[in-house]
């Protein structure tokens, strides 16, 4: 009987250790929390900045396309467009953004690219982004909308650090269009960082 009880204690202890390990509580004696998904930590500039009355034709085209792709009413999308950044990089581009029907930000770097997730929880934790997009005349770029709890974004292109500017939740950086690899690290104010890697040439 005693032997039977002891065996069950061992089984229980092994099960508890396994469960704790799978929950991420055993690495270096600390919990390993995950960062909040996507942009669920909020994007204040999409509320704080004024709605744009005059929307350029190219931005309107993006709004119609992104609205259709995410099940959003295009008229409602046009009515809540914000201008988040201007005079970015060597081509003085701008970033316009709106929230789609599910509340996820959709943004366009004028003349380069736009993107949006179907829900705020989609995409990379802390940063919805586009990378690349260079031409013979213009360099490639990183542009993204960072959530309010992002304290910094680091970009490494072919192993070298690249200056990233950040304002109104928009991060921006430029690099040569011939670059091969990009690595992005997102620092959150809660101390949980995450990163991603892109093979720029496909």
Two structure tokens written together for 178: 């011939």
Q: How far is the CB of 128 from another protein (least distance, A)?
A: 5
Distance from chain centroid for Cα 142: 11
User: Beta-carbon neighbour count of residue 181 at 10 Å?
Assistant: 13
CB of 146 to another protein, least distance (A): 14
Closest CB to another protein among 27 and 201?
A: 201
Q: Kindly tell me which of 52 and 64 has the beta carbon lying closer to another protein.
A: 64
What is the H or E stretch that residue 183 is in? strand 181-188
Q: CB 130 → another protein: shortest distance, Å?
A: 5
Summarize as ranges the residues that interact with another protein (CB under 8 A). 58, 61-62, 65-66, 69-70, 106, 108-118, 122-124, 128-136, 140, 177, 196-202
Contact, 200 vs 140, CB < 8 A? yes
Closer by beta carbon to another protein, 78 or else 118: 118
The Cα–Cα gap between 18 and 186 comes to 30
Instruction: Tell the smallest beta-carbon distance from residue 49 to another protein (Å).
Output: 21
On whether the CB atoms of residues 71 and 60 are closer than 8 A, the answer is: no
């Amino acid at each position: 009987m005693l032997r039977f009880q002891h065996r069950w204690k061992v089984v229980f202890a092994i099960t508890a250790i396994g469960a704790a390990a799978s929950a991420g509580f055993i690495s270096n004696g600390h919990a390993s929390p995950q960062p909040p998904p996507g942009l669920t930590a909020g994007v204040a500039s999409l509320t704080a900045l004024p709605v744009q009355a005059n929307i350029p034709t190219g931005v309107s085209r993006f709004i119609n396309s992104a609205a259709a792709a995410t099940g959003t009413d295009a008229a409602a999308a046009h009515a809540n467009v914000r201008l988040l950044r201007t005079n970015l990089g060597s081509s003085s581009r701008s970033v316009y953004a709106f929230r789609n029907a599910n509340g996820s930000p959709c943004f366009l770097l004028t003349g380069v690219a736009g993107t949006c997730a179907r829900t705020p929880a989609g995409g990379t934790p802390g940063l919805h982004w586009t990378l690349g997009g260079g031409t013979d005349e213009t360099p490639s770029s990183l542009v993204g909308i960072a959530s309010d709890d992002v304290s910094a974004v680091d970009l490494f292109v072919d192993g070298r650090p690249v200056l990233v500017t950040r304002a109104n939740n928009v991060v921006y950086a430029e690099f040569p269009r011939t670059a091969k690899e990009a690595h992005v690290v997102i620092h959150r104010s809660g101390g949980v960082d995450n990163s991603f890697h892109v093979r720029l040439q496909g």
